[in-house]
A and B are shown apart, each in its own frame.
Chain A
Amino acid sequence: MKLAKIALRNVFRNRRRSFLSMLAVAVAAMAMTNMFALLEGMKEDLRQNTWNYESGEVRIRNADFDRYEHLNPVHYVVPDYRALTEQLAELPEVGAISPRINVPGMAFRGEEQISTRGIGVDFDLEAEFQDLEGLVARGRLPRPGTSEAVLGAGLARELNVGIGDAATFLTQTRTRSSNAFTVDIVGIADFPMGGLNSSTYILPIEAAGRYLRMGDASSEILLKSSRAGTEALEQAVHSLLGERGVEGMAVTDWTQVSAGYDYLQMADAVYNIVALFFFVLGCTVIINTTMMTIHERVHEIGTLSAMGMRGGELIRLFFTEAAYLGIAGSLLGTLVGVAIAVPLGAIGIDFGGAMETAGMDMSNVLHPVVNIRSTLGVFVFSAVVAMAASFLPATRAARLRPVDALRK
C-alpha cells in the first residue's frame, strides 16, 4: 500500500515524462484497437458478401459442377429444386433459403464484349435471405414471372442503359448450347462490391430457368442457419439429402468456398504480429523513460536503500509506477480507439476501387466493428507489456549499492 502511494507520487512528480510514457502506450493501444476493429469489420463484410452473393452459409451444388467449375458446366444442376427447397425450409436448423440459377454470359456494346453474371432468384424467399430491396438505388425489384431485371449500377453504365430500357445477354444453356434473351430494366442496384456492380443483374428465377432451359433444376441452393450454427446446418442438410436419396450433391460451408476467408485468417495472424511490433515500439519509450527516471533518481534510490528498502521492493516500486502508466495509457488508447472506431463503423471507410483489385469479395465501403473480446485483449496486452518493459531497468536500479548510489 505504501509502495503504491510512493509509486503514484513518483508518477506525478515528473508529469511531462509520465505523460509521454503513457502517450506512447496509448498510441499503440489506440492503433491496435482500430486495426482490430477494421479487421473485424472486414471479416464481417466478407462473411455477409459471401453468404449473400456467393455461397450462403452452406451451399448445395452438384458435386461435378465444383469439379469442372472452370469450364462453366451449366448442365450440372440441383434437380427438382422446388421440392427440395420446401423440405429444407422445414428443417429447424435453416434460417433462410435461396435457390438460385446463375446465368453466366456476356453483353455487347459495339465491338466490346462485357462479361456478365445474372442471378435468378425467388424474390419471396430472397426477402428473408438478404435485403435486396435495400440494394435498389433506383426503380424497383423485378416482379416474379416477368422478364424484368435489376442491373448493377456499373453494368448499367457500361451498357449505357437505364430504367425503362432493355438489355440483351448471351448465355449458355443446360443443354450446353447458347441462347440470348432480352430483359426489361426496372431497377438499378448498388451492390456493395465493385466487381458485382459492374457485372451483375438480378432476374426472376423462372425467367432464368426458361432462358437456360433448366427445367425443374436450379444451379444451387444457398442456406443460412437459424441459431444452430454452420456445422449443425451442414449436418442437417447432409441428413436430409441422404434421407431423400439425392446423390451427387456437394454440401459446402462458406469458409471452404470464400477465397478471402483464408486471406483474413492469415491477416489475423499478421495483425497480431503487427500489434506486437507496435507494442515493442511503445515499450522502448517506456524502457527509456524508466531508465531516465532511474538515472535521475539514483540519489533517491540510494536514500531508499539506506533507509532499508530492499532490492525486491525497489523492483516492485518501479514496476508499480510502470503499471500505473501502462494501465492509464492502454485505457486511454483503447477508449480513444473505440471512440474513433464506433462512428467510423456507422459512417464506413470508403476504399473506392482498391478492394476490387484485392480480388476478394469485400465491399468498397468497410465498417469497422468493435469487438469486445479483442478490445479487452488490446487493453490487457498493452498494460502487461508496459509493465514487463519496466522490469529490466527496475532490476538494474535494485542492483545499485546504497553507497554508490549516494556518491553519484
Chain B
Amino acid sequence: MRTTRTSSSPADRIRSSRPKRHRAIVTALLTVGLILTAQSAAALTGQEIIERLDDQQTFETSIMEGRMIITDRFGDRVSTFIAHSEGADRFLVEFTSRDEEGQRVLRRDDTIYLYYPDARETIELRGSALRDDLLGSDISYEDMTGGRGLLEDYDATLLDEVEADGHNTYKVELQARTTDVAYPKQVYYVDTEDFVLRKAEQFARGGRLLKVTEILETRREGEYHYPAHIRVTDKTRGSSGTEMILENVQIDVSLPSGIFSLEELTW
C-alpha cells in the first residue's frame, strides 16, 4: 500500500504562508491606521475645527441669490439680494428688492463701501461703523460680508462635545486676541461629522449675550457644505430675528472682472 506524503518543503511552507502574513500585516496596518485616524479626530484642537469650518465656508468665488426676512415689532419685510464673493476678503451684495433696488455693499479687506443710487458718493465704513445693522436687520455689515478668517482674530479652544439642534457638535470658544472685533467672545457649535456650523453665540466683553445665530438648513455643493438658511437674533434689541435664505448658489464660478472695484460699485 502506497502512502502519499502530503507534507511540503520548508520553502513551500514559506511560500504558502505569505498571503496569510500579508493579510495579517495589512489588517494590522489598517487597525493601526483606523486607531490613529480615530485618535487624530478625537484629538482635534479648537483651532483645527475652526480651520475646517472656514474651509467649508470660504469659497474661491461664489454667486449667491437669496432673501432676507427682517422681523421686528412692526412686522416682516423681505429684501432680496445677489451676492458675489472672492475668498474671505472680497464681497459684494446688491439688493434687488423694490425698496432697496440698486443699493450695493462692497467689502474689500477691512473696509465696507455703501452705494446708494440717490447718493453721488459712496459711504465708507470702517472700525465700529462696520457693526451697524444692515437695513435695520439683526445682521451687521460685518456679519453679512464676512471678512478675514476667524483664526486671524481669535484663539479657539475646544470646550466640549455637545448636542445642538439635534446634531453632535464641537463646542468651541473663540476669544478675541484684539479689541478690533465686533464680538470679544464667540461660542461656535460645529458639526462633528461634516464640520458645518450649527449654531453660534456672540458675547460682549462682560459676558452679555449679544446675538444668536441658528443654522436652520445646510446645503452641499461639491466639496462644500454651507449654511443655507440662517436666523440671527440680536438679543440686545429684543427683536424676533432676521432670517437669511440662500436660494441659488454657484460656487467656484468665474466672476466679471473688476466686480469688486470701486469704479464698478458706482457704475
Contact = CB atoms under 8 A, between A and B. Distances in A.
Contacts of A210: 118
A166 interface: yes
Nearest to A71: B73
Dominant secondary structure at the A interface: mixed
B74 A179 contact: no
A76 B1 CA distance: 116
Interface in A110-146: 110-111, 113
B118 A182 contact: yes
Interface string B111-128: 000101011110111111
Contacts of B262: none
Nearest to A184: B120
Overall SS of chain B's interface: mixed
Given A175-B77, A181-B118, A168 B123 contact: yes
B100 interface: yes
A180 interface: yes
Given A108-B123, A168-B121, A213-B99, A180 B116 contact: yes
Given A73-B74, A111-B126, A180 B99 contact: no
A177 B79 contact: yes
Interface in A165-191: 166, 168, 170, 172-173, 175-182
Given A170-B114, A175-B99, A113 B129 contact: yes
A178 B93 CA distance: 15
Contacts of A324: none
A211 interface: yes
Given A111-B126, A111-B128, A176-B77, A166 B120 contact: yes
**Residue among A168, A182, A213 having the largest count of chain B Cβ atoms under 10 Å:** A168
Interface in B90-114: 99-100, 103, 114
B136 A181 contact: no
B77 A168 contact: no
A108 B124 contact: yes
Nearest to B115: A180
A182 B114 contact: no
B253 interface: no
A382 to B, nearest CB: 58
Contact of B135 (A110, A111, A168, A178): A178
Contact of A177 (B99, B118, B121): B99
Contact of A111 (B72, B120, B127): B127
Contact of A182 (B70, B77, B120, B124): B120
B39 to A, nearest CB: 48
A172 B114 contact: no
A329 to B, nearest CB: 62
A55 to B, nearest CB: 24
A100 interface: no
Contacts of B70: 176
A213 to B, nearest CB: 7
27 contacts: A68-B73, A71-B73, A73-B74, A108-B123, A108-B124, A108-B129, A111-B129, A113-B129, A166-B121, A168-B119, A168-B120, A168-B121, A170-B114, A170-B123, A172-B136, A176-B70, A176-B72, A176-B136, A177-B77, A177-B136, A179-B103, A179-B116, A179-B118, A180-B116, A181-B116, A181-B119, A213-B99
Given A176-B77, A181-B118, 12 more contacts: A75-B74, A108-B125, A111-B129, A170-B123, A172-B136, A177-B99, A177-B100, A177-B135, A178-B135, A180-B119, A180-B123, A181-B116
Interface of A: 68, 71, 73, 75, 108, 110-111, 113, 166, 168, 170, 172-173, 175-182, 210-211, 213
